[in-house]
């Protein structure tokens, strides 16, 4: 028999993670210099870059599947461990007739899953061919898909004894009777690993032993569990696709992190916060002094003198503000109801005294149960968990252990302060650096040696034809701005990510001893960079470092990325120092990079640090991948590259007071407005900054407005016609030559009292109408897939309302998201719902950066649904509506354009829009 291999790891990787427990005793300083030198020898000269040329190893990137395959670097004992992960789970419920208990399905000639016996081998073979190679189960008449799996599966394989152990846990809140368990063999036989009923209470675990003589690493195996709900005639058929992994071994200990300081918020700052930062005669001396400093900071902005103190104070204000908000979500006498699955509970939203608008999925939950009251006081039980799902009327949480829900309890939602602690730590470390040269450069340093690397063999051939990309890559590789950061200014669709990837590839090829860290604000951006790099670089040279929270979403991560990450085993593991020191390229989020400083990675190890999406990060956040990671005392050992677009969405700042401070400005935005990064005689200095100009994403009409009002009319439409022009001539376009529709809808803006967000039912119906028409009729004889359509709206309630509408129609792959979620994304067709209607102002739609992001995501077709009478009250929206109206792109209710009550004269390129002609 030739079956599989396995290790001991949960197949269902959704285990709750409690807030990190802080240790008290700090450890002594660590010195990894000798250890790092083992993997990183002579460093290239920072002013020139050096090294011999190498050759790239081209490797086709595998398609996305939710399986974990081979991983080269994994820690386990003696190389004997095997691992597996679930790529897919499907559960069906069906009625069970009484005679089914008596029916025997012959293993050689029958299929117990489908309840059929066969009279010939040919019939049996045909039947199993229908199931497919991985034995997919299809619903029949009367079968019902169950959205939540009933069991939790864990598998371990003992090679020495040729034994597979399948651990099955009842993960539901019902009593289940496990009737049988099957494993699909390579000869398309279902092998019964359990015969006979087994009664399983919620949380009950049972181990099934199975003999396997030979193993096939990376092979996908199917496990089928069949059970009935006790006391009913409902049978559950649950199918798992699992993959066994190769045995891999790595030597070394995991990263050992320094304990992050708590950073108590001082009383005088709390006093100012509670008084809305207005003077009071009751303030003590410290509060008065702090208030005066804050007022001076607003006047002065950031300087090298006030840099550390100002950023620390502003960060503490935001930190305390969020702690205060989250403390209002505490429910003291909470009613917690068990959900369908084991250890999952429902908390009704109407129990909150304040609408929990700030809660997010994966946020911390702590339930305190009052078990008993005796002479020694109340006996309390503390149970940690996380938020699993947020609905309109309820919040579903997953807890570490069962909750005694019939007892009085208190529910708290503690703020995860890890990000703030890492930012405070970064600020302490960066305070030792020469800030004038790094963060306030006034002139370029004189280079002792000339630039060496001028010729490149391109991994992406199209780069060679783009002058700005070539310039940026050449100067990044040669560190022309060092020690000051190099800025890559990437407007929408101009190939910013491609430029970053090519620069990293050229460093990898031409400087064999150089190491690179790539950081980005989001996991999505990190995964995109990693996926592109893997097409050209051997897997052993790349390491994707995930945070612990990513484990819960492991099924949505590309398999090729999982293979080279610390999630390769299906569960989160703290990387070892070898993970970092043996990989020439490391990719992680901006916040997670702070773990390297926490672990005291050798500060001379990284030669280049790229920070993508830097325009959307607070300045203090952008310090996290740098401070302590490549700094040592006053020195900075790496060349820093900041990539982003200051004209798109900036940092997310919710505290009203902070919106008037530098806390609302990114490092990239601040640098571009001063010093050596400013335009001189209309031109940027290419030694320190490059602005990309060729737009490869969109039809010319789709970028025309943003080009004129945000990018000085410099962008050039270079999108391939087969990507950008296929909507031209569509019979539903008001102007067949203009791929933008402004559909005028006079709806009603409603406020959700629970989440304090707005929604508009009339606009939602219009959006769904467009989706239905496009999917059913296509465009110009082109079949449109659900994945080709994106819906963006600035209000979270409208996002959930539209998602619910799409699910009702069965459009599971039409992606609905907020403006923030779509930044850096693109779709062939974008539909924008503005929501605001019959109001005196447009609310936060007046944010020009939000408008710029929303209207530059589409490649071929843009549809805007909203109320023009409301929108035109804002000058930016007035200009956009005038542009669309002048090009006959309007549908729906008639409206009259009226110039807003502001002076539009003197605005750059104000008449260029009127001259645009797409007729």
Average pLDDT taken over every residue of the chain: 83
Q: Tokens at residue 345, please?
A: 């509970």
For residue 213, the domain's CATH number is 2.60.40.1940
Burial (Cβ within 10 Å: 0-12, 13-18, ≥19) of residue 685 = middle
pLDDT of 264: 92
User: Among 141-145, 309-313, 605-609, 611-615, which stretch is predicted with the lowest mean pLDDT?
Assistant: 141-145
Assess whether 122 and 224 both reside in one domain.
yes
pLDDT of 396: 92
Assess whether 234 and 346 both reside in one domain.
no
User: Could you tell me if residue 848 is inside a domain?
Assistant: yes
- pLDDT tens sequence across 328-347: 999 999 999 998 777 889 99
User: Could you tell me if residue 160 is inside a domain?
Assistant: yes
Assess whether 99 and 213 both reside in one domain.
yes
- The residues pairing with 208 across neighbouring beta strands, listed in sequence order, are 166
Domain closes at, from 183, 209, 244: 244
pLDDT > 90: percent of the chain = 54
Rounded-to-integer distance, Cα 222 and Cα 159, Å: 20
Residue partners of 727: CB distance under 8 A and separation at least 6: 699, 733, 739, 779, 780, 829, 860, 861
Q: What is the DSSP letter of 255?
A: P
Domain closes at, from 412, 437, 461: 412
Rounded-to-integer distance, Cα 118 and Cα 132, Å: 18
Q: Which of 56, 43, 60 is nearest to 509 (CA)?
A: 56
**Mean per-residue pLDDT, 381-392:** 88
pLDDT of 842: 73
**Mean per-residue pLDDT, 513-538:** 95
Residue 481 pLDDT exceeds 70: yes
User: 């109206």: which residue's tokens?
Assistant: 885
pTM over 0.85: no
Q: Tokens at residue 600, please?
A: 């005291």
- The answer to whether 416 touches 19, Cβ cutoff 8 Å, is yes
The β-bridge relationship of strands 163-170 and 116-117 is unpaired
Residue partners of 640: CB distance under 8 A and separation at least 6: 438, 485, 486, 609, 611, 626, 630
Question: Which residue segment(s) compose the domain that 399 sits in?
Answer: 336-412
Alpha-carbon torsion angle 198, 201, 202, 206, nearest 10? -40
pLDDT of 88: 60
The backbone torsions φ and ψ at residue 383, rounded to the nearest 5 degrees and listed phi first, read -125, 125
Assess whether 237 and 367 both reside in one domain.
no
* Alpha-carbon distances, residue 377 vs 333, 367, 368, 374 (angstroms): 18, 19, 15, 5
User: Could you tell me if residue 67 is inside a domain?
Assistant: no
User: Could you tell me if residue 735 is inside a domain?
Assistant: yes
- The answer to whether 514 touches 608, Cβ cutoff 8 Å, is yes
Cα atoms in the 13 Å half-sphere on the side-chain side of 623: 29
Burial 610-624 (b: 16+ CB within 10 A, else e): bbbbbbbbbbbbbbb
pLDDT of 755: 67
Residue 914 pLDDT exceeds 50: no
* Alpha-carbon distances, residue 912 vs 121, 583, 880, 904 (angstroms): 75, 50, 12, 14
Burial (Cβ within 10 Å: 0-12, 13-18, ≥19) of residue 505 = buried
* Alpha-carbon distances, residue 559 vs 22, 245, 322, 350, 726 (angstroms): 33, 12, 36, 40, 33
pLDDT of 80: 46
Domain closes at, from 244, 266, 281: 244
Rounded-to-integer distance, Cα 706 and Cα 491, Å: 10
User: Could you tell me if residue 330 is inside a domain?
Assistant: no
Assess whether 222 and 343 both reside in one domain.
no
pLDDT of 76: 35
- The answer to whether 209 touches 224, Cβ cutoff 8 Å, is no
**Mean per-residue pLDDT, 444-469:** 83
User: Among 210-224, 543-557, 587-601, 657-671, which stretch is predicted with the lowest mean pLDDT?
Assistant: 210-224
**Mean per-residue pLDDT, 377-392:** 84
Rounded-to-integer distance, Cα 606 and Cα 629, Å: 8
- pLDDT tens sequence across 568-585: 877 788 999 988 999 999
Rounded-to-integer distance, Cα 509 and Cα 640, Å: 19
User: Could you tell me if residue 322 is inside a domain?
Assistant: no
Q: 119 or 134: whose pLDDT is higher?
A: 119
Assess whether 776 and 893 both reside in one domain.
yes
For residue 788, the domain's CATH number is 3.40.50.300
Cα atoms in the 13 Å half-sphere on the side-chain side of 379: 6
Q: 609 or 675: whose pLDDT is higher?
A: 609
Please give the biggest Cα pair distance in the chain: 95
Rounded-to-integer distance, Cα 120 and Cα 327, Å: 68
For residue 383, the domain's CATH number is 2.40.30
pLDDT of 50: 39
Assess whether 911 and 807 both reside in one domain.
yes
User: Could you tell me if residue 898 is inside a domain?
Assistant: yes
Assess whether 341 and 229 both reside in one domain.
no
Start-to-end CA distance of the chain, whole Å, equals 70
Burial (Cβ within 10 Å: 0-12, 13-18, ≥19) of residue 394 = middle
User: Could you tell me if residue 305 is inside a domain?
Assistant: no
Cα atoms in the 13 Å half-sphere on the side-chain side of 337: 10
pLDDT of 218: 61
Total of domains in the chain: 3
Q: What is the DSSP letter of 846?
A: G
Q: Which of 312, 307, 310, 285 is nearest to 295 (CA)?
A: 310
Assess whether 340 and 238 both reside in one domain.
no
pLDDT > 70: percent of the chain = 80
User: Among 99-108, 146-155, 435-444, 768-777, which stretch is predicted with the lowest mean pLDDT?
Assistant: 99-108
- pLDDT tens sequence across 91-111: 767 776 655 444 555 555 677
Rounded-to-integer distance, Cα 336 and Cα 410, Å: 10
Assess whether 219 and 365 both reside in one domain.
no
Burial 761-800 (b: 16+ CB within 10 A, else e): eebbebbbebbeebbeeebeeeebebebbbbbbbbbbbbb
**Mean per-residue pLDDT, 298-316:** 95
* Alpha-carbon distances, residue 747 vs 3, 761, 886 (angstroms): 61, 7, 24
> How far is C-alpha 907 from the chain's CA centre?
37
Residue partners of 185: CB distance under 8 A and separation at least 6: 1, 2, 3, 191
pLDDT of 149: 80
């Amino acid at each position: 028999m030739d079956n599989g291999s396995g290790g001991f790891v949960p197949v269902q990787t959704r285990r709750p993670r409690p807030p990190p427990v802080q240790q008290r005793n700090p450890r002594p300083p660590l010195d990894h210099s000798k250890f790092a030198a083992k993997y990183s020898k002579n460093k290239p000269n920072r002013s020139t870059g050096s090294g011999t040329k190498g050759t790239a190893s081209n490797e086709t990137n595998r398609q996305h599947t939710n399986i974990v395959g081979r991983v080269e670097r994994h820690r386990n004992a003696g190389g004997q461990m095997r691992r597996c992960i679930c790529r897919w789970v499907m559960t069906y419920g069906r009625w069970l007739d009484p005679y089914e208990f008596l029916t025997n399905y012959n293993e050689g000639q029958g299929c117990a899953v489908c309840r059929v016996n066969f009279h010939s081998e040919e019939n049996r073979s045909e039947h199993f061919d229908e199931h497919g190679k991985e034995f997919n189960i299809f619903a029949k008449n009367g079968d019902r898909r169950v959205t939540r799996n009933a069991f939790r599966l864990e598998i371990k394989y003992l090679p020495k004894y040729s034994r597979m152990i399948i651990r099955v846990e009842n993960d539901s809140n019902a009593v289940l009777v496990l009737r049988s368990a099957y494993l699909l063999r390579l000869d398309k036989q279902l092998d019964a690993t359990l015969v006979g009923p087994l009664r399983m209470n919620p949380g009950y675990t049972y181990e099934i032993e199975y003999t396997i003589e030979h193993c096939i690493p990376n092979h996908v195996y199917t496990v089928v569990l069949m059970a009935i709900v006790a006391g009913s005639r409902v049978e559950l058929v649950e199918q798992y696709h699992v993959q066994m992994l190769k045995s891999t071994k790595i030597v070394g200990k995991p990263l050992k992190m320094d304990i992050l300081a708590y950073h108590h918020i001082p009383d005088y700052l709390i006093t100012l916060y509670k008084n809305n930062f207005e003077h009071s005669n009751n303030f003590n001396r410290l509060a008065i002094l702090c208030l005066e400093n804050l007022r001076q900071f607003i006047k002065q902005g950031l300087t090298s003198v006030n840099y550390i103190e100002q950023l620390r104070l502003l960060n503490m204000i935001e930190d305390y503000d969020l702690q205060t908000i989250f403390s209002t979500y505490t429910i003291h006498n909470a009613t917690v109801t068990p959900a369908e699955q084991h250890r999952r509970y429902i908390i009704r939203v109407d129990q909150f005294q304040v609408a929990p608008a700030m809660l997010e999925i994966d946020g911390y939950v702590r339930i305190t149960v009052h078990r008993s009251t005796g002479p020694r006081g109340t006996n309390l039980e503390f149970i940690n968990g996380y938020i699993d799902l947020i609905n309109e009327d309820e919040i579903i949480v997953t807890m570490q252990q069962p909750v005694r829900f019939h007892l009085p309890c208190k529910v708290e939602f503690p703020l995860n302060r890890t990000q703030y602690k890492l930012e405070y730590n970064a600020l302490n470390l960066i305070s030792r650096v020469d800030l004038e040269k790094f963060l306030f450069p006034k002139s370029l340093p004189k280079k002792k040696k000339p630039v060496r690397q001028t010729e490149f063999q391109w991994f992406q051939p199209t780069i060679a034809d783009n002058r700005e990309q070539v310039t940026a890559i050449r100067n990044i590789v040669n560190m022309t701005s060092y020690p000051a950061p190099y800025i890559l200014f990437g407007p929408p669709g101009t190939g910013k990510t491609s430029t970053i990837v090519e620069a990293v590839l050229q460093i990898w090829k031409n400087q064999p001893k150089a190491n690179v860290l790539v950081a980005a604000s989001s996991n999505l951006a990190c995964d995109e960079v990693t996926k592109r790099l893997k097409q050209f670089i051997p897997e052993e040279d790349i390491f994707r470092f995930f945070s612990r929270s990513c484990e819960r979403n492991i099924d949505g991560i590309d398999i090729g990325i999982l293979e080279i990450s610390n999630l390769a085993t299906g569960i989160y593991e703290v990387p070892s120092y070898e993970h970092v020191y043996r990989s020439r390229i490391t990719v992680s989020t901006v916040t997670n990079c702070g773990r390297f400083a926490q672990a005291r990675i050798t500060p001379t190890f990284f030669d280049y640090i790229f920070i993508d999406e830097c325009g959307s990060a607070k300045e203090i956040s952008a310090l996290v991948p740098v401070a302590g990671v490549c700094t040592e005392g006053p020195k900075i050992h790496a060349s820093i590259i900041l990539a982003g677009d200051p004209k798109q969405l900036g940092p997310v700042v919710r505290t009203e007071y902070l919106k008037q401070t530098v806390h609302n400005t990114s490092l990239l935005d601040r640098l571009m407005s001063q010093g050596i990064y400013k335009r001189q005689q209309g031109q940027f200095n290419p030694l320190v900054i490059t602005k990309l100009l060729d737009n490869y994403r969109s039809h010319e009409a789709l970028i025309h407005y943003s080009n004129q009002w945000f990018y000085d009319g410099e962008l050039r439409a270079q999108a391939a016609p087969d990507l950008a022009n296929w909507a031209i001539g569509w019979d539903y376009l008001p102007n067949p030559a203009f791929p933008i529709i402004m559909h005028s809808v006079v709806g009603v803006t409603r406020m959700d009292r629970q989440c304090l967000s707005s929604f508009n039912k009339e606009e939602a119906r219009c959006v769904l109408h467009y989706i239905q028409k496009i999917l059913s009729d296509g465009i110009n004889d082109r079949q449109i897939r659900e994945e080709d359509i994106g819906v963006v709206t600035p209000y979270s309630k409208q996002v959930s309302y539209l998602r619910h509408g799409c699910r009702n129609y069965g459009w599971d792959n039409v992606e609905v998201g907020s403006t923030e979620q779509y930044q850096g994304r693109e779709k062939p067709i974008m539909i924008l719902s503005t929501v605001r209607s019959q109001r005196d102002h447009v609310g936060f739609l007046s944010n020009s950066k939000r408008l710029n992001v929303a209207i530059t995501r589409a490649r071929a077709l843009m549809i805007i649904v909203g109320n023009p009478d409301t929108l035109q009250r804002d000058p930016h929206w007035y200009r956009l509506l005038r542009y669309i109206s002048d090009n006959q792109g309007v549908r729906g209710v008639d409206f009259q354009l009226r110039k807003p009550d502001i002076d539009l004269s003197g605005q750059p390129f104000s008449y260029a829009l009127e001259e645009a002609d797409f007729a």
